[in-house]
């Protein structure tokens, strides 16, 4: 369902974010993001002079190479379009994310390694979304591992996704459908 009809308005700013998850031939996974900012009007930039409407102001890339446990093996960032010549110097610092695991505390750890003047606000902001794309990309792989573990141990773990949104509220119809044993365990 689309949003309601807007009031009369004029476009000023556009941010496009595109993210993809890939399985690599070596068994690892690449999660990539691209951010592109443009303005619908022309304006003067202190370093670049006049920027015509539609000229990219920000154009940033990031790639995390991760394993099926969501451990970051490598991180690469690049800045194609920036408002200032100094901005691309932040990109190499994102290699500091190698060794982090995507999961609880990830955003805090990112802030510690590439926060503030160590990084780029726009690349850093993409990382929370990249983490979600990583989960989505690895879902079938991680689900198979979970089922195999259950088959060996006979123990079913409560999925971490429970309680993270309305659909996964512990007593929701979705949880009852996907994990009926949780509902049975709670009743006992």
In the predicted structure, residue 187 carries a pLDDT above the cut 70? no
Q: Which residues of 69-88 are buried (b: 16+ CB within 10 A; e: fewer)?
A: ebebeebbbebebbeeeebb
Report pTM.
0.87
Q: Which of 156, 187, 148, 153 minimizes the C-alpha distance to 170?
A: 187
Contact 109, 125 (CB under 8 A): no
In sequence order, the 6+-apart residues with CB closer than 8 A to the CB of 40 are: 10, 11, 12, 13, 14, 53, 54
Please answer whether residues 21 and 29 qualify as being in contact, where contact means their C-beta atoms are separated by less than 8 angstroms: yes
User: What band does 76 get if pLDDT is binned at 50, 70 and 90?
Assistant: very high
Question: Which pLDDT belongs to residue 79?
Answer: 97
The fraction of the chain above a pLDDT of 90, given in percent, is 80
Confidence of residue 135 (pLDDT cuts 50, 70, 90): very high
């Amino acid at each position: 369902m689309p949003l309601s009809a807007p009031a009369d308005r004029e476009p000023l700013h556009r941010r496009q974010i595109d993210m993809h998850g890939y399985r690599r031939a070596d068994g690892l996974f690449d999660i990539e993001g691209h951010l592109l900012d443009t303005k619908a009007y022309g304006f003067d930039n202190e370093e670049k002079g006049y920027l015509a409407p539609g000229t990219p102001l920000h154009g940033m890339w990031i790639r995390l190479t991760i394993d099926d446990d969501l451990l970051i093996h490598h991180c690469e960032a690049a800045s194609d379009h920036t408002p200032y010549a100094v901005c691309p110097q932040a990109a190499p610092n994102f290699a500091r994310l190698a060794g982090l695991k995507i999961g609880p505390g990830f955003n805090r750890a990112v802030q510690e390694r590439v926060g503030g003047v160590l990084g780029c606000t726009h690349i850093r902001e993409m990382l929370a979304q990249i983490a979600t794309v990583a989960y989505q990309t690895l879902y079938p792989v991680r689900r198979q591992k979970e089922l195999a573990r259950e088959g060996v141990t006979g123990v079913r773990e409560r999925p971490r996704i429970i309680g993270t949104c309305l659909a996964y509220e512990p007593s929701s119809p979705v949880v009852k459908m996907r994990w009926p044993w949780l509902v049975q365990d709670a009743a006992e």
